[in-house]
Amino acid sequence: MPLRVIVGVSGGIAAYKAVSVVREFVRRGHNVTVIPTGSALRFVGLPTWEAISRNSVPTDLFEGVAEVRHVALGQQADLVVVAPTTANMLASLASGFAADLLGTTVLASTAPLVLAPAMHTEMWENAAVQANVESLRRRGTFFIGPESGALTGDDSGVGRMSEPETIVDFALSCLTPQSLEGKRVLISAGGTREPLDPVRYLGNRSTGAMGVALAGEARLRGAQVTLVHAHLEVSPPSGVELVSVSTAEEMHAAMVALQPAHDLVIMAAAVADWRAKNPSTQKLRKADQPEHWSPELERTPDIVADLGQRKPTGQVLIGFAAETEDIASEREAAARMKLDTKKTDAVVLNLVGERVGFGEVETAVTLITASPQSLTFEGTKSSVAGRLLDALPEL
């Protein structure tokens, strides 16, 4: 479900990285309002914040007085993140100052407050700054960073703002129930590539976005995640163990080897059903081939079926069914057949095609179980992945 997120930006050079923080929240389907301080606007201008957040950006304490905006923004927020948080902002928040719109918003909000400090090492280590940090921690404020690394100028040390994706992951984890804490989750993602020769392959349109989203959401819920991935066109989440494969045979070997150590296995990869029986070791030159060429193909291993046969007691196995039929009942019938024949606990059914299902697009999936009732989720892949995982206790 989309969250109402306030991203406060205080006046430090790391404000430029906050643009990516906002972008990442938006990319994951959340509604973001940016509240920059006057100093922050000297680093990054108003048009940038509005373009990236896709919302108007309030800056003045006396704007929207009729709707009491200086209070309403905080009251309506599900999450408040301040990135970067300067030494001055730490002092202001610790003292409860409300001298600007960001200050009043924080005071008026009961949502989790996440601070991402950024300043020079000497400032961060100053006793006054550390006293402010400790005071805020005691009141339940969450901190992410700072990290050690290159700072402004030639300086290096503790004080660098955490990376945007890390900040977003951490902030969302402060809201996410740790329903998978202590669990080991194995997920496959991406499209396999079956070589015809050293430069050509049989492949598919999968980008791996759904499997990557599931891995990220499982980690946010406290799981220890292993992602076995073939070809990806999206970046894998941080904090998960990555196992890279290319072909269906390689993915089969990896999944079978890793399966016994995991509590939940999700087979989201788009695995090729066919491969060349005798791939060439040399490039097949066009001039040497007939006008109509028909390479001999053979079936690849049925990974889901094999995992179903090997599934240990207590393990939950979820398969995916990518279908193209226009009639919904026909798609569901195909998914239920897979549920029965592959011995999975659930099948995630999704409609795919040249312009739907693949990549960073809005998606709709249906969770099929032994129950005659099914659950349908729509939205971004991150939001759908989260709702799928939240439905797992029903299994």
Q: Are 268 and 187 in contact (CB under 8 A)?
A: yes
Contacts 24+ apart (CB under 8 A), 240-244: 240/215, 240/216
Pairwise CA distance, residues 276 & 354, whole Å: 24
Q: Look at residue 29 in the predicted model and tell me its pLDDT.
A: 84
Active site residues: 204
**Beta-strand relationship, 241-244 and 316-323:** unpaired
Q: Look at residue 81 in the predicted model and tell me its pLDDT.
A: 97
Can you say whether residue 378 is alpha, beta or left, with left for phi > 0 and alpha for psi between -120 and 50 degrees?
beta
Question: What is the fold of 184-394?
Answer: Rossmann fold (3.40.50)
Q: Where are the domains of the chain?
A: 4-173, 184-394
Domain 4-173 identical in fold to domain 184-394: yes
For residue 108, give every residue at least 6 positions away whose Cβ sits within 8 Å of its Cβ, in sequence order, or none: 70, 71, 72, 73, 74, 75
For the purposes of burial, counting CB atoms within 10 Å of the CB of 129, is it exposed (0-12), middle (13-18) or buried (19 or more)?
buried
Spell out, as residue ranges, where the chain has pLDDT lower than 50. 354-359
| pTM of the complete model | 0.73
31 beta partners = 4
For the purposes of burial, counting CB atoms within 10 Å of the CB of 103, is it exposed (0-12), middle (13-18) or buried (19 or more)?
buried
Q: Look at residue 354 in the predicted model and tell me its pLDDT.
A: 46
| Omega within 30 of 0 (cis) for the link into 47 | no
Question: What is the fold of 4-173?
Answer: Rossmann fold (3.40.50)
Q: Look at residue 359 in the predicted model and tell me its pLDDT.
A: 47
